[in-house]
Structure 1
Amino acid sequence: MDMDKLKQWLELAKNMQGSDFWSNVFDQEFAKQFINDEQFNSPFTNTTGQSFREGQTSKSFPIIDILEGEEEVFVIIELPGIIKENIQLGLNGNVLSIKGKAVPVHPHLHTAYSERFYGDFQRQITLPDHVNPSEINAKFWNGLLIVRYKRNNMKGEIIPIE
């Protein structure tokens, strides 16, 4: 790491808040880009001026919440600006897969600065239960894909031991 990058890191450190500074820094997508990009210009753009997230699949996109209750489970998947027709949802065992494409709002205009994700994405989410695809309900509402299923609370049969 050269001296200019070290100075940029120190400046970044001054601007970050919180007690978990280093864990927060290294968990951020821009930090990963900063470390990997030899011709780094700023924490948000690459040498071509594009957002570093543009056109790259991110492991953390889309962001999710998994809410568990005794009777049912909800997976809330945040998909801002994405239309339902650009989303595919699948299930294999207890792994829910989502893939799709985030299209820029104005693709004909030059992007001067962007923090939003654009391009193809795919994410696999491990569910807390095994569930049949026919038992899953999915609803797209206000940029959120809400996936819901009822838990199978069968206790099974007791087998006597001789």
Structure 2
Amino acid sequence: MSILELSKTLNKNPETSQTEEANRERTVRPRLTPAADIYSDEEKYVLLLDLPGVKETDLEISLEKDELRIEAKTTQPTVRGELRYSEYGTGDFRRSFAVSEQLEEEKISATFKNGILKVTLPRRKPASKKIEVQVD
């Protein structure tokens, strides 16, 4: 039993009608944590996230201070008939990553294809400064 199923079980009130219970369940949107892989080399980090059922228009990526945040929404496909069994996860995806080094923020890019989000985070090269030696 998942945590979501457990919370639904614990929150059921025997005096609540099935219609009220169904309406409440439709308004609760679970938070899903997408699977992620992170690769790196000397020049960049590459982040891959699995976001099945997400449309590009429902995807938001932001970098604030030291946190990369990715949020997305999905909706349950409309199918006629009574749902008998479900493993298809729908809800809001959210994932945050701590960023511990300087990035070339203006060169960060993202592509989305077949439900896979690829975010490329170029590393900022340390600025080298030539120090002039003065003679006394």
Length-normalised TM-score, structure 1: 0.58
Conserved? CA contact 1:93–1:130, under 8 Å = no
- Give yes or no for contact 1:94–1:131 (8 Å, CA) kept in 2: no
What does residue 44 of structure 2 align with?
72
2:70–2:94: 8 Å Cα contact kept in structure 1?
yes
Q: Within 5 Å, which residues of 2 pair with 1:3-14?
A: none
Looking at secondary structure, tell me which structure has more strand per residue. 2
Q: 1:119 to 1:35 in 2, by over 3 A?
A: closer
1:100 correspondence with 2:72: yes
Specify which structure has the bigger relative contact order, considering alpha-carbon pairs within 8 angstroms and separated by 6 or more residues: 2
CA contact (8 A) 2:63 2:69 kept: yes
- Structure 2 counterpart of 1:26: none
Superposed displacement of residue 73, structure 1: 0.6
Computed over aligned residues only, the root mean square deviation of the Cα atoms, in angstroms, reads: 3.1
For the structure 1 residues 70 and 35, does the alpha-carbon distance in structure 2 shift closer, same or farther, using more than 3 Å as the test?
Answer: same
Q: Secondary structure at the match of 2:124?
A: coil
Match of 2:126 in 1: 154
* Same amino acid, percent of matched pairs: 24
Render the CA deviation track for 1:43-90: whole Å, top value 9, x for unaligned. xxxx97xx9xx82113xx122111111111101111012110111111
Q: Is the 8 A contact 1:94 1:130 kept in 2?
A: no
Q: Does 1:112 align with 2:95?
A: no
Write the distance in 2 (CA, Å) between the matches of 1:109 and 1:99: 31
**What stretches of structure 1 of length at least 5 have no aligned partner?**
1-28, 40-46
**Structure 1 residues 105, 72: CA separation in 2 closer, same or farther (over 3 Å shift)?**
same
Gap regions ≥5 residues in structure 2:
12-20, 132-136
Q: SS state of the match for residue 76, structure 1? A: strand
Q: Does 2:113 match 1:141?
A: yes
TM-score by length of 2: 0.68
C-alpha displacement of 1:136:
0.5
Q: Give the corresponding residue for 1:20.
A: none
2:15 corresponds to: none
1:128 deviation in Å? 4.4
Query: 1:99 and 1:109 mapped to 2: Cα distance?
Result: 31
Taking a change above 3 Å as real, the CA distance of residues 116 and 126 of structure 1, as seen in their structure-2 partners, is: farther
Q: Any idea what SS the aligned residue of 2:31 has?
A: coil
Larger radius of gyration: 2
Deviation at 1:132, TM superposition (A): 4.8
Aligned length: 118
Question: For the residues of structure 2 that align with 1:77 and 1:125, how far apart are their CA atoms?
Answer: 12
